[in-house]
């Protein structure tokens, strides 16, 4: 039992130290919804939420993210959880996850819902 407690404590120290490293590098967690149909996947227009503040901006992926399958399959209205750094042009993305729109902060959920309705009405009929 003592051995399990020691492993748990060392695991917590490892997690907290890795979080400290990420925070020290200036990376932040952000959420985003792709706002427009994609023309260029190196500059994606999106509504972005950082620390509860929502703004329009560009998602700028690093090279490792551009080769990620989730990024390659990105479409309008996709909801994302991102890690990266806020820059003048928008948000430089170092990692991402595609999430359900219900997992977005409240400030983005309305936009995501409207976007999905608009996509269903305007874009989907053109696919036939």
Rounded mean pLDDT, 85-95: 94
* Cα 29 from Cα 114, distance rounded (Å): 24
User: pLDDT tens for residues 7-62?
Assistant: 343 333 333 333 333 444 678 999 999 998 888 889 999 999 999 999 999 999 99
In a domain, 8, yes or no: no
Is residue 92 predicted with pLDDT exceeding 50? yes
In a domain, 121, yes or no: yes
In this predicted structure, what is the pLDDT of residue 124? 62
Domain harbouring 117, CATH code: 2.40.50.140
How many domains are contained in the chain?
1
In a domain, 19, yes or no: no
In a domain, 112, yes or no: yes
In this predicted structure, what is the pLDDT of residue 127? 62
In a domain, 75, yes or no: yes
In a domain, 114, yes or no: yes
Q: Is residue 89 within 8 Å of residue 78, measured between CB atoms? A: no
User: pLDDT tens for residues 57-75?
Assistant: 999 999 999 999 999 999 9
pLDDT band at 123; cut points 50, 70, 90: low
In a domain, 64, yes or no: yes
Extract the tokens encoding 45.
Answer: 């227009």
In this predicted structure, what is the pLDDT of residue 37? 83
Q: Is residue 52 within 8 Å of residue 81, measured between CB atoms? A: no
**The model's pTM:** 0.74
**SS (HEC) of 10-67:** HHHHHHHHHHHHHHHCCCEEEEEEECCCCCCCCCEEEEEEECCEEEEEEEEECHHHHC
In a domain, 21, yes or no: no
Residue 35's domain comprises 27-127
């Amino acid at each position: 039992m003592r051995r399990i407690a020691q492993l748990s404590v060392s695991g917590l120290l490892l997690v907290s130290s890795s979080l400290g490293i990420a925070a020290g590098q200036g990376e932040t967690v952000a959420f985003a919804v792709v706002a427009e149909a994609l023309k260029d996947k190196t500059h994606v227009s999106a509504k972005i939420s950082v620390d509860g503040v929502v703004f329009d901006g560009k998602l700028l992926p690093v090279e490792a993210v551009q080769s990620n399958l989730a990024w390659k399959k990105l479409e309008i209205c996709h909801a994302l959880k991102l890690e990266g750094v806020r820059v003048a042009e928008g948000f430089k993305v170092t990692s991402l996850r595609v999430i359900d729109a219900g997992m977005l902060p409240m400030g983005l959920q309305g936009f995501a819902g409207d976007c999905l309705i608009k996509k269903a009405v305007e874009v989907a009929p053109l696919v036939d």
